[in-house]
Chain A
Amino acid sequence: MNKRNIQHLYSRAGFGILPHELGSRENWSRDKVVEHLFAVTRNVTPLRIDLSEIINLEVPEGEKRGRTFIKKGRDLLKDYNRAWIDRLMDPSSGIHEKMILFWANVFVAKDKNIIHTQQYNNTLRKYALGDFREFVKAVSKAPTMMKYLNTNRNVKKSPNENFARELLELFTLGVGNYTEKDIKEAARAFTGWSFKEGSFHLNQRRHDSGKKEFLGKSGNFDGDDIIDIILDQRQCARFICSKIYRYFVNPDIDEERLEELTHIFYGDYDIGKLMQYLFKTDWFYNSKNIGVKIKSPIELLAGINRVVPLQFKKENQIVFIQKMMGQHLLHPPNVAGWKGDRYWIDTNTLMFRLNLPAMLLNNAILELVEKGGFKDSFAEFYDDKKKKGRTLDVHKSWDIFERNYGHLGFQEFVDTLIPASVETKALEGLLKKEDKKTDCIRLMSLPEYQLC
């Protein structure tokens, strides 16, 4: 497999590849490289932080339990966000973490409850490369999802259609592939769904066990039956594959390729198999698919970190960076998730992204303040302390950078950092060629580095 293709694979299926890994795979076949990629992430490690503080919550005299719970929960949610970022930035993170980011933006849900949030995130982890059918069912029964889309308020007497609608529109089939009647009937099947102590619980009295007509079938369906009927539709496989294509291959869909992926996915709905197939095709490595995707803010950050390992000293600064670039993990904008690609870019986010390498690696100051929140007081909303020019308090492991990149020749170094081909003319006078650290920051500050 040639270097350019290995790099392309690792930038899409992960967050980049180090020069020595790149070198060692050059003599491998494509099948071997792809299989290795999946083999190293076979073991799923849940992402957990210490929640004992909130599980054994002691409420100070005179304070309400709910309020203390929410306050503590908010801090722990920040810790969990950090833990997720740390996991993403771990040098061993690869296809599995990438898939989790992908699914978190398909099965979008948001929750203030840290216990349920952690549970939900670990559900994404468990199924990210597994059985899509089981995945949909597990996500539908997760407290975070049930709260976010009101499944737990969906009762026989007055069905709430929120979950049924989004299940069809955003999670499985896409607009135009079902009727309003289908939504109503599906909503009935999910009535009585609830949870107790974090586990799914069916409230029989609130469940409508009557006959439903859904997507041309009729029976006394429950929620799981509805999901099975949805997955019987080829459109469901096609819909998910179109998301996969846009995320992993190219923002512009090639109908023929999409059809090919749908054919693989439909039936057993094996996500791992689909992804392996995709990365083994010739067309995935077609030059029209290389370096054409705009990195998400998290991909950008994780990519920089892959080259120069970083350690944030201040949790608030991790939040700051995510907010300024418009991707704050655990805080999706709405149930449709982040739109991605060009939607990451506006005047302000682009300038922030172009300045980010200098901020992270060269103590550059950008006097910018993140937006206040809806629940902030006036003082918090405008927090004066944040306004002062500040550098990011980050430890940079330049020694590791030296070890990995120090021996590379100039052109090789450029090619390793920038997958999109850069015109040599464009680099004239921009780089120093002797000082690799400076060149590294400069290459990462090119618009080309925004692409993968």
Chain B
Amino acid sequence: MMNRREFIKQSGLASSLYFVPQFLKACEKFNADTENYRKLVVIQLSGGNDGLNTVIPFRNDIYYKRRPGIAIPKETVLKATDELGFHGSLAPLKQLYDQGYLSIINGVGYPNPNRSHFRSSDIWHTASDSKEYLDSGWLGRYINAFGEKPYAGIELDDSLSLIMKGDGINGVAVRNPQTLYRNTRKPYFDAVLKNKSDAHLNEHNLGYLYKTMIEAKSSAKYIYETSKTFQSALTYPDGPFAAQLKTTAQFINSGLGTKVYYVSMGGFDTHSGQNAKQSKLLGIYADAIKVFIKDLDQNGSFKDTLVLTFSEFGRRVKQNAGQGTDHGTANNIFLMGKNLREPGFYNNLPNLSDLDNNGDLRHTVDFREVYATILDKWLQTDDRTILRKDFGKLHFI
């Protein structure tokens, strides 16, 4: 396991960066080492994606019996194994699957599942138990422990989610690097910072505000100036989700010193008229992913990037009266990368005939085992420091 010193060396976040007076100067150059370290991109399908209609058990009678109005017909399924196949909108994922760049883990969840979007999303973001309330996210704590600069973690948005909040140091939200830069680049703020004495930076909360302000400014400048050195040669689909991924690829391909990224895509709360909605959404997701992966691969970054897709919960096995599904529990997750140890289906689908009292799937893999594995084997850090508990490791990577 790597210690912090080695991490810093490897990541190019030289410790001279941390002393505030030199900070502005130090941030202007970036270290070429950052190009080759490992990155993680986390994508949330927000609203609760229906996993059973995403990866379809097309031989399962219970599946068809419980979902007479919305089950995906066998003939449209993109069959991957004798039992499971992809939704028709996911052809690009099927292709990644065929290339060995995709792992699917089924039945990922946690004990005592919560079916509220807010709460379950918080649980996934903070890596907490069902009844535990944490104020920081697992990516935020990672930045805290090993990255130390806000831009070590970037959320592709204008405000920061819990997943990127650390204890003391947080990630930074950037939807558009230029906008972020412009908002910090006011002459008045420059003048304010210029007038600051070092004494001010030592004061309790006031110092914290000034330090955060200085970091905001230098991070914004660094992100903007670094990322503009790369322009993608590929055409992404139209639309905001593809734009988020395009910006992410631009950040990664420009060699930005960011280790973890978070993107969320909305619209998956399909209580009614599910099939048309979900089909469109999965198409938007997969089409953007296709170009994103290609963009990384063409620029030699895919080998250093792992992409995790999750949703705050899956949906109920039995459809509802509105041709949709209600909030459920365990779900499948996707992992994309060039270094997968077990590409394809990592495990079987949970048993559809052994549901909990609500008629929901019982989880077979704790999501924190997935996190622990990523932290330990991919990001090579001490997962127990970040997750605050010891979780078993999987062997997908």
Where the two chains meet, the residues of A that have a C-beta atom closer than 8 Å to any C-beta of B are 165, 251, 291-294, 323-324, 326, 333-336, 339, 341-343, 345-352, 354-355, 366-382, 384, 420, 423, 425-430, 442, 445-448, 450-451
Contact = CB atoms under 8 A, between A and B. Distances in A.
Interface string B148-183: 001000000111111001001011110110011011
A420 B206 contact: yes
B277 interface: yes
Nearest to B194: A429
A428 B191 CA distance: 9
Interface residues of B, number: 64
Contacts of A345: 208-209, 212
Contacts of B119: 334
A102 to B, nearest CB: 19
Contact of A371 (B159, B184, B210): B159
A374 B122 contact: no
A125 B182 CA distance: 42
B173 A348 contact: yes
B79 interface: no
Given A333-B118, A371-B161, A375-B117, A381 B46 contact: yes
Nearest to B182: A367
Contacts of A370: 158-159
Contacts of B182: 367
8 contacts: A293-B205, A347-B219, A348-B158, A354-B213, A368-B158, A373-B266, A374-B269, A446-B192
Contacts of A347: 150, 160, 170, 172-173, 212, 215-216, 219
Contacts of B150: 346-347
B30 interface: no
Interface stretch (B18-26, B59-67, B195-203): B195-203
Contacts of B172: 346-348
Nearest to B170: A346
A448 B117 CA distance: 37
B53 interface: no
Given A369-B158, A374-B118, A381-B267, A451 B205 contact: yes
Contact of A372 (B46, B160, B186, B284): B46
A430 B191 CA distance: 7
A450 B208 CA distance: 11
Give 5 nearest A-B pairs by CB, closest first.
Answer: A381-B266, A378-B267, A374-B117, A382-B240, A346-B170
A450 to B, nearest CB: 6
B213 to A, nearest CB: 6
Nearest to B165: A346
A368 B179 contact: yes
B254 interface: no
A447 B267 contact: no
Contacts of A294: 205, 209
Contacts of B209: 294, 345, 350, 447, 450-451
B206 A343 contact: no
Contact of B196 (A324, A341, A350, A426): A426
Nearest to B162: A333
B253 interface: no
Contacts of B118: 333-334, 374
Contacts of B192: 426, 430, 445-447
Nearest to A384: B240
Contacts, number: 161
B204 A292 contact: yes
A414 to B, nearest CB: 14
Nearest to B121: A374
Interface of B: 46-48, 117-119, 121-122, 131, 133, 135, 150, 157-162, 165, 168, 170-173, 175-176, 179-180, 182-184, 186, 188-189, 191-192, 195-197, 200, 204-206, 208-210, 212-213, 215-216, 219, 239-241, 264-267, 269, 277, 280-281, 284, 312
Given A371-B159, A430-B192, 9 more contacts: A345-B208, A345-B212, A348-B160, A348-B216, A354-B189, A366-B183, A369-B158, A374-B48, A430-B195
A165 B219 CA distance: 42
B157 A371 contact: yes
Given A323-B159, A334-B122, A367 B191 contact: no
Contact of A350 (B175, B212, B240): B212
A91 B46 CA distance: 40
Given A375-B269, A448-B206, A425 B216 contact: no
Contacts of B175: 368-369
Nearest to B131: A165
Given A294-B209, A374-B47, A381-B267, A335 B284 contact: no
A341 B208 CA distance: 11
Nearest to B117: A374
A349 B160 contact: yes
A420 B267 CA distance: 45
Contacts of B159: 323-324, 326, 348-349, 352, 368, 370-371
Contact of A447 (B213, B284, B312): B213
Contacts of A339: 135
Contacts of B266: 372-374, 376-378, 380-382
B205 A378 contact: no
Contact of B133 (A334, A372, A427): A334
B45 to A, nearest CB: 11
A372 B156 CA distance: 13
A351 B216 contact: yes
Contacts of B205: 251, 292-294, 341-342, 451
Contact of B158 (A324, A343, A350): A324
Contacts of B184: 351
B135 A343 contact: yes
Nearest to A381: B266
Contacts of A445: 188-189, 192
Contacts of A380: 266-267
Given A346-B160, A370-B158, A425-B195, A447 B210 contact: yes
A376 B212 contact: no
A371 B263 CA distance: 12
Nearest to A445: B188
Contact of B188 (A334, A430, A451): A430
Nearest to B150: A347
Counting chain A CB atoms within 10 Å of each CB, which of B119, B173, B267 scores highest?
B267
